[in-house]
């Protein structure tokens, strides 16, 4: 049973640890960062051949263990307070355009009434993975357009944003398609940030839940997922089982050099590629699976 999250924020200061890491020759830095996020890190900023990874103090041991098992190198480790991490994130927040969509950042929840156009997405910096500024998120937004409507046999009754993070893709789904939208993530703190962004954008059809794909009930007409390729490959059979016949899957988070891993698994299982796009070493795609 999935756990629904109420609108609330953590009380008191959160203790954070900032890890500067580099990847081994056998693994690119983007993939290393993605695996550390799966191991419990809350965010990562990649620069050249190194990354800064933010971790809640209680998750630090598991993340460092994963780093060691992957033969990654720890360059620096230091404690930061939650306000400092939010401030570091906010330095990256400038409006950005992805296809028809414009991401509009806010430092805090606006005190006055705020309205957005159909293709404007408001976002507040937080601890969720995904701000709308990363290429992998942009690749999903670029595929949420009028061309998508021609691939759908009808307006989706139920759509799933798998690994919702900040909730920005759930907002875009409601604005473009309507219907019942489900935003799912395993990280409760990310969901709490998503709650703020759903409220900021005045969405009424998005339900946010903590849980896994296997725990979701029913099938979906559309699933969007911005996850790294190894996890997408692992979830392929579950994704197929959760889609209605002729349902559409939009994926991103795939490093271009690892595109073949995704294609080998999904194409061998009957998925049909309808469109794809690439941005600065990241690849995204829209697929349909006929039963």
What residue ranges do the domains of the chain occupy?
3-84, 92-289
Residue 114 pLDDT = 80
- Asked whether the beta carbons of 39 and 83 are under 8 A apart, the reply is no
**Cβ-based burial of 278 (10 A; exposed 0-12, middle 13-18, buried ≥19):** middle
Asked if the domains at 3-84 and 92-289 fall in one CATH topology, the answer is no
- Asked whether the beta carbons of 220 and 156 are under 8 A apart, the reply is yes
pLDDT greater than 80 at residue 37 = no
Q: Which of 6-20, 110-124, 130-144 has the lowest mean pLDDT?
A: 6-20
Q: How confident is the model at residue 7 (pLDDT cuts 50, 70, 90)?
A: very low
Residue 13 pLDDT = 55
Residue 201 pLDDT = 94
Partners of 6 in the beta sheet? Answer: none
Q: Between residues 22 and 48, which one has the greater pLDDT?
A: 22
Quote the tokens at residue 245.
């016949």
Give the H/E segment covering residue 132: none
Q: How confident is the model at residue 31 (pLDDT cuts 50, 70, 90)?
A: confident
CATH for the stretch 92-289: 3.40.50.150
End-to-end CA distance of the chain: 27
What's the pTM value of the predicted model, to 2 decimals?
0.76
Class in CATH terms, 3-84: alpha beta
């Amino acid at each position: 049973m999935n756990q629904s999250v109420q609108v609330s924020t953590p009380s008191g200061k959160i203790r954070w640890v900032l890890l500067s890491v580099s990847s081994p020759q056998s693994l690119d830095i983007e993939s290393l960062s993605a695996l550390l996020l799966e191991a419990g890190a809350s965010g990562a900023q990649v620069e050249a051949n190194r990354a800064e990874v933010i971790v809640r103090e209680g998750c630090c041991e598991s993340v460092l263990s994963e780093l060691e098992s992957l033969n990654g190198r720890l360059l620096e480790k230091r404690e930061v307070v939650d306000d400092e991490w939010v401030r570091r994130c906010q330095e990256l927040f400038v409006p950005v355009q992805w296809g028809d969509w414009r991401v509009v950042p806010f430092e805090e929840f606006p005190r006055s009434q705020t309205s957005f156009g159909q293709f404007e997405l408001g976002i507040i910096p937080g601890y969720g993975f995904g701000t709308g500024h990363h290429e992998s998120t942009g690749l999903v937004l670029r595929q949420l357009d009028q061309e998508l409507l021609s691939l759908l046999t009808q307006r989706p009754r139920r759509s799933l944003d798998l690994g919702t993070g900040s909730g920005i893709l759930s907002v875009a789904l409601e604005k473009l398609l309507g219907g019942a939208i489900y935003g799912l993530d395993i990280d409760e703190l990310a969901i709490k940030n998503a709650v703020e962004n759903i409220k900021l954008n005045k969405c009424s059809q998005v339900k946010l839940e903590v849980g896994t794909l296997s725990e979701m009930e029913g099938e979906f007409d559309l699933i969007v997922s911005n996850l790294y390729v190894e996890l997408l490959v692992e979830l392929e059979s579950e994704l197929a089982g959760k889609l209605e016949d002729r349902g559409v899957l939009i994926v991103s988070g795939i490093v271009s050099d690892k595109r073949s891993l995704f294609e080998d698994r999904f194409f061998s299982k009957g998925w049909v590629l309808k469109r794809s796009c690439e941005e600065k070493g990241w690849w995204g795609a829209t697929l349909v699976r006929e039963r």
